[in-house]
Amino acid sequence: MELNKKLLEEFRWTKSKLLWVTKYFDKDATLEIINKLETDYMDIFEGIWENRIEALIEKNIDRNKVHFIWNIQSKQIKDIIKFSSFIHSIDDIKHIKKIEDICNKSWNWIQIFLQINIDNTKKAWISIEKIPEYLEIIWDMESVSLIWFSAIWKSEFTRKEKEAEFDLLIKLRNKYLPNWFISAWTSIDYEIALEKWIDIVRVGSKLYN
């Protein structure tokens, strides 16, 4: 499969990291493209992301390359930890505590992003006012480390709205942890994310021609 070299060079120029959405590929095809990216674009390739537990288990790819991004159910946490090293969709203190407990029992570790509710469109996500509460809990954990903020997903938005979202995430990051990372959604807004120098940008079908 031919990769979109123009897109990859855009990433290279901005120094943003690419997180590739693999949900449309089986294990063999996924490994083939991972090999291409690691061979030619290791400087910008962050890893892959999955949003289905079944796919995580079936593909069973090196967990150090795998990010999980989707709504989390408590019963799925054990498998998420077993098959991925990063979670971008944390919005529940109970889940964080369960992740820590499972990691400790299995001698494992996980890195997480907090999913912040920028414009109050999702009741389940973390409100800006609660950020300090989450930080205080995570600082005391041994097996869970915080990478930082994950941008919310929207299927429809204006450029102005998306720019404002990224600007606010950057402002919050700089307020609390200036050297940490922000991850942004997929192909629908990747160009805006690159313009804003977002650290980790998730791209799906636009990665290949």
Could you tell me the CA-to-CA distances from 185 to 9, 14, 63, 155, 193 in Å, in that order? Answer: 19, 17, 21, 10, 8
What pLDDT shows up at residue 155? 61
Across 92-118, b (16+ Cβ under 10 Å) vs e yields beebbebbbebbeeeeeebbbbbbbbb
What pLDDT shows up at residue 100? 96
pLDDT digits (tens, 9 = 90+) for 4-37: 999 999 999 998 999 998 888 899 999 999 999 9
What pLDDT shows up at residue 70? 85
What pLDDT shows up at residue 39? 96
Mean pLDDT score of the chain, rounded to an integer?
88
Question: Does the pLDDT value for residue 152 go beyond 80?
Answer: no
27: containing domain = 5-207
- Residues of the chain with pLDDT > 90: what percent? 56
Q: What CATH number should be reported for the domain holding residue 155?
A: 3.20.20.10
Question: Does the pLDDT value for residue 162 go beyond 80?
Answer: yes
Q: How many domains does the chain have?
A: 1
> Which residues, 6 or more positions from 124, have their beta carbon under 8 angstroms from its beta carbon?
71, 91, 92
